[in-house]
Amino acid sequence: MQDSLRVRVNSKLSFGAKKERNLRFLTTDMKSAEEDAYSYAPNVSLSLPLGVGNPCLAAQYHTLQSGPVISVSSCHQSSYSLQNDTHIASGYYHGLKPNGAPALESPRIEITAYSQYPEDEVEERSSNEDHIIKRGVNSIVTLTLPNADGYRDPSCLSPASSLSSRSCNSDASSYESGFYNYDNSPQNSPWQSPCVSPRGPSMLLSCPHATGPVGSPNHSPSTSPQIGAVAEIGWPAQPRGSRPNSPSCSGGVSSCSGIGKRKYSFNGNSYCQTSPNQSPTPSPYGSPRISVTDENWLANTNQYTNSAIVAAINALTTDGVVDLGEGIPIKTRKTMLDNSPSMSLKVEPRGEELGHEREHCHEDYPNRMALKKENYCGGFLDVPQHPYSWSKPKPYLSPSLPALDWQLPSCSGPYNLQIEVQPKSHHRAHYETEGSRGAVKALSGGHPVVQLYGYMESEPLTLQLFIGTADDRLLRPHAFYQVHRITGKTVSTASHEVMHSNSKLLEIPLLPENNMKAIIDCAGILKLRNSDIELRKGETDIGRKNTRVRLVFRVHITQPNGRTVSLQAASNPIECSQRSAQELPLVEKQSVDSSPATGGKMMLLTGLNFLPESKVVFVEKAQDGHHLWETEAKVDKDSVKPCTLVVEIPPYKNQRTSSPVHVNFYVCNGKRKRSQYQRFTYLPPNVPIIKTEPNDDYDSLGTVGLSMHSKPYYNQTRLTPVMPVADPDACLVGAYPPCPPSHATMPSSSPSSSPTLHDLSPVAYIKCLPNSPTHTTASGPMASHFQESPGHTNLGHPPSPDHNSSLEILHSHGSSNSLNSPGAQSYHPIYPNSSPSSSSSPASHPSTPGGPAESPFASAYSPSQVQAAANSSQNKGNSPCQLPEDASPSSMTIAVKQEPQELDQMYLDDVNEIIRNDLSSISVHPHA
């Protein structure tokens, strides 16, 4: 019986998925087989990323408020041309918004597809339907699934984490409350994006939920009948069990179908139905494994950049006021709004709304309460008793809060949000079908700790936590993972869940009495089925191999002047896949990131899953991705330990290179078991230091690079004493004091959290603009670590146009790594995306934040040192793999600031060449 049902379902599903599938195929063609294995990169440029994954959306969200200023075209263009946007982009905002704005422009086709939502209706019904669905198979077949979007869709309920999400998110309520009002804001300007079809009634547009169709492209008349269509196509009643044929879902399907061991299947169906994740449009093809080629990647990133720029512009024109809006593709808005209903996020009638929502939840979803799993409402109500009153109005509850995919700084003015204790690099996420796998833990065995410095008020704040991506693109909510609230005796920290833009947020009180410090022992990670997410409307990321996440913390501080300062800190990457965690080597730290082209020095790699048979391969790729050079480094087999690997840096092919050469290396445990790419730079034998002109920043740069260099890229956390310049922000933005001087004494920020300051006020943005370049350079070293998956070349990102000194450029490459870090990203979103040089790198892989310091000063470990370090690291109690700080190369590094000794014309020519190439390639990117 199940089988039969399944068949029916699938047929319907195929319809809905059709468009997306096509798009994916297109992209798929572009990728090379080789890269495929390693690039899980998710982005398919052709399809519009509407969900969380689509930064663009978010950007728009914010942007819209400000006004009309940005036209679609700008959005596009920006994506493609960094240069033009550079100024804009350079600003704080550039980085801020990783959007796929361009995507919007592209194939409207997609948009149409999205429009399918009669979301309003769907959502509204969803809750009710859920109940029904759960009750019987029949329902499954006949009912349309409201929320395919699952987690991203507020209406979707996550079985595992909580039914919660769904119920309260229901549209109706959301409309009425919070967001709806925004639409009416005078500031609303029509979103000019071409993507947006003719607006319907303004009201509709403004209402995210209701209007699904209106604002969105779908809204077009043609699409209008969407509700029905949605039901049929977009939201085919899909039994949970009938997971789309995603590659990954094989298991799931089988279960549903009753094949294999899944006993769960039958029940599973009903279960599935309730799951938010159900993919509305399962594609017959299943989810194609799409890897993104460099080219694709580039395109995608550009899109993000564009949107970021747009957002930035809008932001600049706004004063923190957010209008929802018009112009936002319905889907987009819908997504955001959907979640908006989340009580905590609502703005206005705080108290009332809250109450209203609760009521709503209860009324509409009484049954859910009975469900074993906590539902949204339940979760909300179930908040553990804590001194901190959740009901208390939260200053940050404002529509103007930045979207989750906005890149925010970790420090601003006196405030600094720090991750004092980083999470372990591995945490097996649990599926909805599994029980919780517990809270994310710290390396030491405890839990991550986050602290807000510089906040002297007595009013408690709320720390938000969501699961973000860990690839080289701008930080954004992860489509395939959601934070999961952990409760129990062992949990000491109060928390509650709220949905925001299809992403679940965990809100944790930050209390003055606790020094604004929170122990994150209440956050687990839920894995959503790839098939469910991939098939969701607007989702362009793929889940396969997209298993790295970061914990992203945010805090919104309302200042006396009424403005809100939002800070964000992202953790080091966390591998969430059981398999990957067990099999793939992970390089967390490298003792050096550069050496003379002659090689010969020893390098200590610290990480996980190193084997005696592990190989370390150095690779140089051209911009087009093809291999220019590849060689295997000699591994000291005798010293290999699971967490450390000592390799001899191989000589570069051209030992007389006159300019630094950026290459990559990875650790390989077998055919498909490679670590991500790590960056490495070969330096000209006789040009130890590159310094072409006196620059005050130079010192700091060099210093930073050195100091940071030795630190573990990912794990550098509290453990490490902070350098004066520990926080990139501090130095980068020195001129514009985001961070208090005291900052230096604060624990160093992790690369990922490094970012800068973010003040929602326009002023703040402006201030940041000038800094971005500096920041970039400076942050590069800080961010130290850059990982890219093999198969993708990682490249230096082009320097900003205004910084084309050779020095800057060289550093820019290094700093490119910083892109990985959320913080850095905020400043340079542009580089990664638009940089031509980076074209080769597009890895869609999750990369770790940070980039290798390009510092020419980097010193190499001597074998003995390496060994010592390795040993010491092994001896470490908590984490055997953790490299002792003292062993850090940094201590050994010698910072030498010298004038170029032999900077001959040839060298200069090379540098100029690099500059020219970068610039030309940048300009080459078509704006449109």
Partner DNA sequence: TTTCTGGAACCAGTA
Partner DNA sequence: AATACTGGTTCCAGA
What's the min distance (Å) between Cβ of 674 and DNA?
9
The continuous run of DSSP H or E covering 606 comes out as strand 602-608
Question: Which of 255/314 has CB closer to DNA?
Answer: 255
Rounded-to-integer distance, Cα 80 and Cα 751, Å: 27
Question: C-alpha angle 229/233/235, rounded to 5°?
Answer: 100
Rounded-to-integer distance, Cα 778 and Cα 782, Å: 7
CA distances from 530 to 534, 768, 792, 885 (A): 6, 38, 22, 38
**All residues at 6 or more sequence positions from 11 whose CB lies less than 8 Å from its CB, including other chains:** none
**CB–CB of 691/862 below 8 Å?**
no
Question: Which of 261/638 has CB closer to DNA?
Answer: 261
Work out the angle between the directed axes of helices 806-818 and 905-924 (0-180°, nearest 10). 50
Please count the CA atoms within 13 angstroms of the CA of 223 that sit on its side-chain side.
32
Amino acid of residue 866: V
**CB–CB of 779/829 below 8 Å?**
no
What's the min distance (Å) between Cβ of 381 and DNA?
16
What's the min distance (Å) between Cβ of 476 and DNA?
18
What's the min distance (Å) between Cβ of 257 and DNA?
7
Question: Which of 672/916 has CB closer to DNA?
Answer: 672
What's the min distance (Å) between Cβ of 843 and DNA?
14
**CB–CB of 52/501 below 8 Å?**
yes
Question: Which of 288/836 has CB closer to DNA?
Answer: 288
What's the min distance (Å) between Cβ of 12 and DNA?
18
Three-class DSSP category at 162: strand
Task: Pull the structure tokens for residue 928.
Answer: 């449109």
Three-class DSSP category at 846: strand
CA distances from 14 to 89, 236, 295 (A): 40, 9, 29
Residue with tokens 């910083």: 818
Question: Which of 264/388 has CB closer to DNA?
Answer: 264
Question: Which of 246/855 has CB closer to DNA?
Answer: 246
Residue with tokens 């029905």: 228
What's the min distance (Å) between Cβ of 534 and DNA?
8
Three-class DSSP category at 708: helix
What's the min distance (Å) between Cβ of 161 and DNA?
10
Three-class DSSP category at 706: helix
* Footprint of DNA (CB under 7 A): 33, 36-37, 40, 243, 245-255, 259-265, 268, 286, 288-289, 428, 430-439, 441, 480, 486-488, 524, 527, 529-532, 543-547, 577-580, 582-583, 670-673
- C-alpha 832 chain-centroid distance: 14
Question: Which of 6/691 has CB closer to DNA?
Answer: 6
Question: Which of 577/893 has CB closer to DNA?
Answer: 577
Rounded-to-integer distance, Cα 472 and Cα 775, Å: 18
What's the min distance (Å) between Cβ of 438 and DNA?
2
Question: Which of 179/480 has CB closer to DNA?
Answer: 480
**Residue 254: what are its φ and ψ, rounded to 5°?**
-55, -40
What's the min distance (Å) between Cβ of 488 and DNA?
5
What's the min distance (Å) between Cβ of 271 and DNA?
9
Please count the CA atoms within 13 angstroms of the CA of 248 that sit on its side-chain side.
22
Rounded-to-integer distance, Cα 880 and Cα 864, Å: 19
What's the min distance (Å) between Cβ of 261 and DNA?
4
What's the min distance (Å) between Cβ of 246 and DNA?
6
Residue with tokens 């001087």: 741
Question: Which of 394/430 has CB closer to DNA?
Answer: 430
Question: Which of 430/478 has CB closer to DNA?
Answer: 430
Rounded-to-integer distance, Cα 174 and Cα 357, Å: 8
Question: Which of 668/690 has CB closer to DNA?
Answer: 668
Question: Which of 104/253 has CB closer to DNA?
Answer: 253
Q: Give CA torsion, residues 719, 722, 725, 726, to 10 deg.
A: 20
